[in-house]
Structure formats: C-alpha cells, structure tokens
C-alpha cells in the first residue's frame, strides 16, 4: 500500500450496528478507510463489512492470536467479507502469521500487531519482554515480516526505528493518534497525526478523537485539514 490520498482510518468502535453505519456515513467525506474492531464485530456482526466496503476500504481489526490451524480457519472466512486489511498478533509466531497470510489470499493485506499502544514501558517490562518496548516491537516486526506479513501495527513512537530497520518494505499502521489537546483515554504511546505521518506512518487509526466528539464529521474534517496543512 502506498500512502493513501487520505490516510485517516476511522475506528468505528460501536457495538450497535446503527451507530457504526451512521457514524461511517457522517465521517465518510473525511475518512480514507473504515475500521471495525472487536466491539463492532462481536456486537454488530460481520455482515456490515461488505456494506461499508461499498463506500471505503474496510479494515477488519480481528487481532487473531491462536494456533495456526484456527487462525487459518478464521482468516478463510474473513477473506470472504470484502475487507482490504486484517490484523493478527505478531506474538502468535511465525507459523501462525504464515498461515494467516496464506489464507488471506490476494487483495487482503495482513497487518501484524506488534506491542499494543495501550501498554506503557512499565507494563511491557512486567510482561517479561526482554529489553525496551522498542526492542520488543522490532523483534516481533522482524519475525512477522519474515513470515510474510504485509505490514505492521505499531505505536507512532516506534515509526522511526521501524523505518530505519525495514525501510519502505512494510506498511506501518498506527493507532494511538491524539491531536493536541485530546485526552489519551487508555492509550499510552501516542503522537499527533501530522507528526506520525512525518515519522513514516502509512495509515493513521483514529477512534475516539473523532467518534466520541460532539460532531464526528467536524472532528474528522479538522484532522484531515491538520494533516494537509504543512
């Protein structure tokens, strides 16, 4: 994926199908990609993926992490939905990522999640990762890319290190995007949208700064304007 004309991917994190659809409609003029994650997939179901995909490329944030056979089975079904991007956890290991890529087939880009953006260094340390958070991200990234992943999900704080190590070989998709003045919510490794693009992001995943705003369309438009202005 080269950087999309509009790199803003809006995370439609609602369990209610009508909320997913109405928010998608409202932000569509200012969104490059729609993302449905665990809240929408389990709450509203997978049928809406095909409908959303008529409007914009859809990112199914399935975050698969299981034995290779299970992930292959799930990915075979996800590949039927009409999505353009899907996630697996890099921590599932080489064989799992490889099975996911094989089952996804052509046209569905598999992104490997490295270390969740909701984890800070202290929690990463307690979880037993050797070295810094960045070390962990680089190790997971290398293994996932070797297994055939098309891109990575990382925090904007690791973009420079990942671009330094892998160049343009991988798409780098970054959640944890927070415009100046926005609350962090449960995110810990965050950066502004313009800064993340300048550091090498391919796609910016933005949820609550847009979807929890009083007027999501205006919030999305402002973010688009902020990244267009240099």
Which residues bind to ligand C5P, rule: CB under 6 A?
A: 11, 13, 37, 61, 113, 116-117, 153, 175, 185, 187, 205-209
CB 73 to ligand C5P: min, Å: 22
Of residues 87 and 98, the one with the C-beta less far from ligand C5P: 87
**Closest by Cα among 17, 103, 10 to 61:** 10
Here the contacts of 115-118 (C-beta below 8 Å, separation 24 or greater) are 115/140, 115/154, 115/155, 117/154, 117/155, 117/174, 117/175, 117/176, 117/187, 117/188, 117/189, 117/190, 118/186, 118/187, 118/188
Of residues 69 and 121, the one with the C-beta less far from ligand C5P: 121
Distance of CA 177 to the CA centre of its chain: 11
> Concatenated DSSP letters for 138-189?
HHHHHHHHHTT-SEEE--GGGHHHHHHHHTTSSEEEE--B--TT---TT--S
Distance CA 98, CA 84 (A): 18
CB 205 to ligand C5P: min, Å: 4
**Closest by Cα among 66, 76, 20, 73 to 43:** 20
Residue nearest to ligand C5P according to CB distances in the complex: 207
Distance CA 212, CA 224 (A): 17
- Among 54, 63, 98, 126, the active-site one is 63
35 part of the active site: no
Of residues 18 and 186, the one with the C-beta less far from ligand C5P: 186
- The residues, any chain, with a CB within 8 Å of residue 215's CB and separated by 6 or more, are none
Of residues 184 and 230, the one with the C-beta less far from ligand C5P: 184
CB 69 to ligand C5P: min, Å: 24
CB 129 to ligand C5P: min, Å: 15
CB 102 to ligand C5P: min, Å: 22
Of residues 89 and 98, the one with the C-beta less far from ligand C5P: 89
Distance CA 62, CA 78 (A): 9
Catalytic residues, by residue number, are 63
């Amino acid at each position: 994926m080269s950087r999309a004309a509009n790199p803003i991917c809006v995370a439609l994190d609602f369990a209610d199908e009508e909320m997913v659809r109405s928010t998608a409609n409202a932000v569509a003029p200012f969104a490059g990609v729609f993302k449905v994650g665990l809240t929408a997939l389990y709450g509203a179901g997978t049928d809406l993926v095909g409908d959303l995909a008529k409007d914009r490329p859809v990112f199914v944030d399935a975050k698969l992490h299981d034995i290779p056979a299970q992930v292959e089975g799930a990915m075979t079904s996800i590949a039927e939905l009409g999505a353009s991007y899907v996630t697996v956890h890099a921590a599932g290991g080489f064989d799992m990522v490889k099975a996911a890529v094989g089952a996804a087939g052509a046209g569905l880009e598999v992104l490997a999640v490295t270390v969740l953006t909701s984890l800070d260094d202290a929690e990463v340390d307690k979880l037993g990762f050797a070295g810094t958070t960045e070390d962990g991200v680089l190790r997971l990234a290398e293994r996932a890319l070797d297994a055939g992943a098309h891109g990575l999900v990382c925090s904007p704080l690791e973009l420079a290190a990942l671009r330094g190590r892998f160049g343009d070989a991988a798409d780098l998709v970054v959640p944890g995007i927070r415009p100046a003045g926005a609350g962090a919510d449960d995110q810990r490794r965050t950066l502004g949208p313009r800064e993340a693009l300048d550091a090498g992001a391919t796609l910016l995943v933005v949820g609550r700064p847009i979807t929890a705003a009083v007027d999501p369309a205006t919030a999305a438009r402002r973010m688009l304007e902020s990244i267009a202005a240099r």
